Amino acid sequence: MKHEGWGWWVPRCCVGLFWGGDLAQNGGMGVELPEIGRKEFSRRLQACSPVSLSAAQVEGLYLHYTELRRWNRSVSLVGPVDEEVVVERHYGESLSALPLLSGPGRALVDLGSGAGFPGFVLAVARPDVNVTLVEARGRKWSFLMSVCRAAALSCNCLNARVDTSPVEGLPQAIDWITARAVRFEGLGLPVLLPRLNAGGSLLLWSGIEKPELSSPLRFVHETHLAGSNDRRILKIVKDPEGLRGA
């Protein structure tokens, strides 16, 4: 679709909502990411994924990496990381959430999507799920739109910050909320929690400390991430019992 006055095309799969920022005023020069061949990328990706990925899914994630390398030279999407762990750290840690996306849910919202970890990766691995990528910084949002279009991925990309105000474009009913680069206090729960279905989950990439929770939220699981004693994914559910007792 084309928005009057923008002067460029927005892909049908990525609908943007500008939120307080000029594209030229955020995101600085990035680091050079290592070149990795398709075969090597596939081998390492399959080795760190908790599920077997199809050839098409591997190709979609390799396309993402090639675009990430190209964009990262001028836009700081990801920081420096050793060549030996770049696939495992970003793609592997994102794929580690797949066993936590259980049940019949169909809507996932990824907050602070940045370079697409974990939201883009999970969208490729779970094409049956409707994924919304939320990113406040304009140049990172532009990258997400571009790579979604290149991969023909049906994601809804919002240039927004979720805090205490309603955000146009968010699903009315959400099954999973993921956040790898947003602290618990910055999740915008006053806006999101009413939309999270009973039994729905927050998946937070976190360190050792756990946030303090109040009803109807409760911890149910934590997944330790390979290669670190500190990093883990915390699974927090919206407890139907807590709702009845509220």
**What end-to-end distance do the CA atoms of the chain give, in Å?**
43
Per-residue pLDDT tens digits for 193-234: 999 999 999 999 998 889 999 999 999 999 999 988 889 999
* Whether 101 contacts 92, CB under 8 Å: no
Higher-pLDDT residue of 199 and 22 is 199
Per-residue pLDDT tens digits for 77-114: 998 888 889 999 999 999 999 999 987 779 999 999 99
For 52-70, what is the mean pLDDT?
A: 98
One CATH from 3.90.550.10, 3.40.50.2300, 3.40.50.150, 3.30.70.1730 for 99-245: 3.40.50.150
* Whether 208 contacts 225, CB under 8 Å: no
Of 15-29, 57-71, 121-135, 202-216, minimum mean pLDDT range: 15-29
Percentages helix, strand, coil for the chain, rounded to the nearest 5?
Answer: 35, 20, 45
The amino acid at 195: R
For 19-23, what is the mean pLDDT?
A: 34
Give the confidence band of 31 by pLDDT, cuts at 50, 70, 90.
Answer: confident
pLDDT for the residue numbered 15? 39
Q: What is the CA angle 62-63-66, rounded to 5?
A: 85
The dihedral over CA atoms of 162, 164, 168, 169, expressed in degrees to the nearest 10, equals: 40
Q: Which helix (H) or strand (E) holds 177?
A: strand 174-179
Q: Of 128, 191, 130, whose CA–CA distance to 155 is shortest? A: 130
Q: Where are the domains positioned within the chain?
A: 99-245
- What percentage of the chain exceeds 90 in pLDDT? 72
pLDDT for the residue numbered 47? 97
* 104 Cβ contact list (under 8 Å, min separation 6): none
pLDDT at 53 over 90: yes
d(CA 215, CA 194): 13
* Whether 64 contacts 36, CB under 8 Å: no
Task: Give the Cβ contact number of residue 96 at 10 Å.
Answer: 22
**b/e sequence 139-150, b meaning 16+ C-beta within 10 Å:** bbbbbbbbbbbe
